[in-house]
Chain A
């Protein structure tokens, strides 16, 4: 089976840096995704990691350690519009993508 854990909610200040962690236990591993979802809207793709290490894309970076079953999403220079739910998703055996319950990030002034 698949088990994905992420914090339920986090709060950070505008302009700061925040790290959202995700740990997973899956049968098979074909990659890890991060999606952003604003309330009542569709999830949108942020990043993809399949090899260990850091992938940087603008203000967002994502890290993966396959041996530890661990990933994090790093958001820099936080903006108010970054307030959203961040979903960690793992593609396991059978190419099935399983989502975590998401981390609700609140960015404050």
Chain B
């Protein structure tokens, strides 16, 4: 158990809908990262927050947004869903804002299926 909690574990929805994925980082960790993993692609970095502030942005679509709350949990909002958004979404946490030698602790992921 990494200490990172993601909910829900599975999510099935229809095209055009909007969903919210939730993540609670390990106790004491200030950074939260969101990654998307599709069958044919590796882990794609979406976005990172550190202590409530956006720290780094990756290949995140405009239809997607995220935020980190004062209690450090984070939410990833996916809207106007398309079939291609079906993927495993991972949240990871670390204690530092993003630096060398800082391994990430991953949650068990949310499997999103868009039908």
- Whether the Cβ atoms of B101 and A50 lie closer than 8 Å is yes
- Whether the Cβ atoms of A95 and B106 lie closer than 8 Å is no
Kindly list chain B residues whose C-beta atoms are within 8 Å of the C-beta of A42.
2, 4, 90, 106-109
Please report whether the interface of chain B is mostly helix, strand, loop or mixed according to DSSP.
Answer: loop
Kindly list chain B residues whose C-beta atoms are within 8 Å of the C-beta of A91.
100
Which residue of B98, B101, B106 is within 8 Å of A43 (Cβ)? B106
CA distance A41 to B58 in the complex (A): 22
- Whether the Cβ atoms of B90 and A96 lie closer than 8 Å is no
Q: What is the 8 Å Cβ interface bit string for chain A, positions 62-102, against chain B (1 contact, 0 not)?
A: 00000000000000000000000001010100111111111
CA distance A50 to B99 in the complex (A): 12
- Whether the Cβ atoms of A50 and B100 lie closer than 8 Å is yes
CA distance A50 to B104 in the complex (A): 16
Q: A33 near B: Cβ within 8 Å?
A: yes
Q: A48 near B: Cβ within 8 Å?
A: yes
The segment out of B41-49, B61-69, B73-81 that lies at the interface is B41-49
Interface size class of B (residues with CB under 8 A): 20 to 34
Interface size class of A (residues with CB under 8 A): 20 to 34
Kindly list chain B residues whose C-beta atoms are within 8 Å of the C-beta of A100.
42
Kindly list chain B residues whose C-beta atoms are within 8 Å of the C-beta of A96.
45, 48, 56, 58, 98
Kindly list chain A residues whose C-beta atoms are within 8 Å of the C-beta of B44.
99
* B contact residues vs A (CB 8 Å cutoff): 2, 4, 33, 35, 41-45, 48, 56, 58, 88, 90, 97-101, 103-109, 111
Q: Which 6 A-B pairs have the closest CB atoms?
A: A95-B98, A42-B106, A101-B42, A99-B43, A45-B103, A30-B100
Given contacts A43-B43, A97-B45, 4 further A-B contacts (CB under 8 A): A40-B111, A41-B108, A42-B108, A99-B43
